[in-house]
């Protein structure tokens, strides 16, 4: 793995548990170490945070959250004290104009003659917007990203959005969003039939936005009826179990499982379906050689889920979900081939090792003497 011959500082609003492995791996690629500054989420967000990191110096500041919804802002108290104490060779910050403390950190780094990279999803335009609102948003985003020496996007769509705002293409890097290491085991072998019945798997938190209700109803319209395995827990579990009792009693609610506990479920499945937004388990499903159906989202799915390994369906489109599931289960040989492509993608293209390589490449280009 390529290395960054310096000290890196990295700012995040919060430290979700699923990012810990990536940050530790990135820190291990920095010769002089890495320090992470972050705060805590609001209680209503339901984000599970990491309490410690193995390879990374971890500084906890205070997030002051201001307003809500589309007017939401955040100020991170303690950011500047941490930055001056660390005095890094390079800084990576979240590329989000809602974070009010970011410009001061960028300005200080530039005064020291050191680069700052913005890392984000892109610059999407929420809909619907009036012409005036859209124009204001473009001006805010353009001014915000112009302060960075380079940008790292989670997806190609995000990179295109940055470029559309006038940021130089040559200074935009794409680190495909990942939460998993490359597969540690070989591709599972599956038979070229779905006997006695296909197995459809969902793994994730049971929330309204995951649209598991659509998945339960969709399975009732398939023939032959599949075995539907739902792994996870959450506020919607009781309502979903009640729905399944009425519409699809074959649905199995396993409860929360983690780590190695998930292996037998991924191995036994034929198809992984995520009908709503979010979903960190998609990459894990792909690492077990599963084709996937996901709802269209923020652009990270575009790079991960392609025509050769899965399907993207419009969010909240029940008919499209049913039709796609029928198509997926109609050709077993094609389904198995798509599963092999899923495995190849996460083994060779999209994993946390590849993310680290992109970050280090960007850092080395900016700090090269």
What distances in angstroms separate CA 213 from CA 136, 207, 242, 277, 333, one per listed residue?
A: 38, 10, 10, 13, 29
Residue 40: CB atoms within 10 A of its CB come to 16
CATH, domain range 199-348: 3.40.50.2000
Residue 114: CB atoms within 10 A of its CB come to 18
* pLDDT per residue as tens, the chain (369 positions): 799 999 999 999 999 999 999 999 999 999 999 999 999 999 888 788 998 899 899 999 999 999 887 788 999 999 999 999 999 999 999 999 999 999 999 999 999 999 999 999 999 765 555 565 567 688 999 999 999 999 999 999 999 999 999 999 999 999 999 999 999 889 999 999 987 899 999 999 999 999 999 999 999 999 889 999 999 999 999 999 999 999 999 999 999 998 899 999 999 999 999 999 877 799 999 999 999 999 987 667 889 999 999 999 998 899 999 999 999 999 999 999 999 999 999 999 999 999 999 999 999 999 985
Q: What does the pLDDT read at residue 259?
A: 87
Q: Residue 51, exposed/middle/buried by CB under 10 A (0-12, 13-18, 19+)?
A: exposed
Q: What does the pLDDT read at residue 178?
A: 93
Q: Tokens for 91?
A: 């800084």
Query: Side-chain half-sphere of 196: how many Cα atoms within 13 Å?
Result: 1
- Which residue shows structure tokens 């793994």? 203
- With beta carbons less than 8 A apart as the criterion, state whether 351 and 181 touch: yes
Give SS3 for 345: helix
Name the segment(s) of the chain with CATH classification 3.40.50.2000.
Answer: 8-180+351-367, 199-348
Say if residue 145 is preceded by a cis peptide, omega within 30 of 0: no
Complete DSSP assignment for 176-245? ----SPSPSSPPPP--SS--S--EEEEES---GGGTHHHHHHHHHTSSSPPEEEEE---TTHHHHHHHHH
∠ CA 107-108-111 to the nearest 5 degrees?
A: 90
Based on its alpha-carbon atoms, the radius of gyration of the chain, rounded to whole angstroms, reads 22
Kindly report whether the global pTM for this prediction surpasses the value 0.85: yes
Q: What does the pLDDT read at residue 145?
A: 97
- With beta carbons less than 8 A apart as the criterion, state whether 292 and 272 touch: yes
Q: What does the pLDDT read at residue 51?
A: 83
Q: Is CATH 3.40.50.2000 the classification given to domain 8-180+351-367?
A: yes
Q: What does the pLDDT read at residue 130?
A: 57
- With beta carbons less than 8 A apart as the criterion, state whether 255 and 276 touch: no
Q: What does the pLDDT read at residue 84?
A: 98
Q: What does the pLDDT read at residue 1?
A: 78
Q: Residue 147, exposed/middle/buried by CB under 10 A (0-12, 13-18, 19+)?
A: middle
């Amino acid at each position: 793995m390529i290395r960054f011959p310096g000290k890196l500082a990295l700012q995040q609003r919060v430290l979700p548990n699923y990012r810990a492995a990536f940050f530790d791996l990135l820190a291990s690629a920095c010769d002089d170490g890495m320090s992470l500054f972050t705060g805590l989420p609001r209680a209503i967000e339901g984000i599970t945070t990491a309490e410690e990191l193995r390879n990374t110096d971890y500084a906890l500041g205070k997030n002051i959250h201001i307003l809500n919804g589309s007017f939401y802002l955040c100020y991170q108290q303690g950011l500047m004290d941490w930055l001056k104490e660390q005095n890094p060779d390079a800084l990576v910050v979240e590329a989000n104009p809602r974070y009010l403390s970011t410009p001061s950190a960028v300005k200080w780094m530039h005064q020291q003659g050191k680069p700052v990279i913005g890392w984000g999803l892109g610059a999407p335009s929420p809909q619907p917007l009036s012409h005036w609102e859209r124009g204001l948003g473009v001006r805010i985003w353009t001014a915000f990203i112009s302060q960075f020496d380079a940008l790292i996007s989670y997806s190609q769509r995000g990179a295109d959005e940055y470029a559309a705002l006038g940021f130089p293409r040559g200074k935009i890097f794409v680190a495909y969003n990942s939460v998993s290491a490359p597969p540690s085991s070989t591709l599972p072998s599956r038979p070229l039939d779905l006997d006695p019945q296909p197995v459809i798997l969902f793994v994730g938190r049971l929330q309204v936005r995951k649209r598991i209700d659509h998945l339960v109803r969709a399975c009732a319209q398939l023939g032959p009826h599949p075995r539907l395995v739902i792994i996870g827990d959450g506020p919607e579990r009781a309502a979903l179990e009640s729905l399944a009792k009425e519409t699809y009693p074959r649905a199995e609610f396993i409860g929360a499982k983690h780590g190695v506990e998930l292996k037998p479920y991924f191995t036994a499945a034929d198809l992984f379906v995520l009908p709503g937004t979010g979903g960190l388990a998609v990459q894990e499903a792909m690492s077990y050689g599963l084709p996937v159906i996901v709802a269209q989202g923020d652009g990270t799915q575009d790079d991960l889920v392609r025509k050769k390994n899965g399907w993207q369906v419009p969010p909240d489109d029940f008919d499209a979900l049913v039709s796609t599931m029928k198509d997926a289960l109609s050709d077993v040989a094609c389904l198995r081939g798509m599963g092999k492509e899923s495995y190849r993608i996460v083994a060779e293209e999209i994993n946390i090792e590849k993310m680290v390589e992109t970050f280090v490449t960007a850092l080395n280009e900016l700090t090269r003497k």
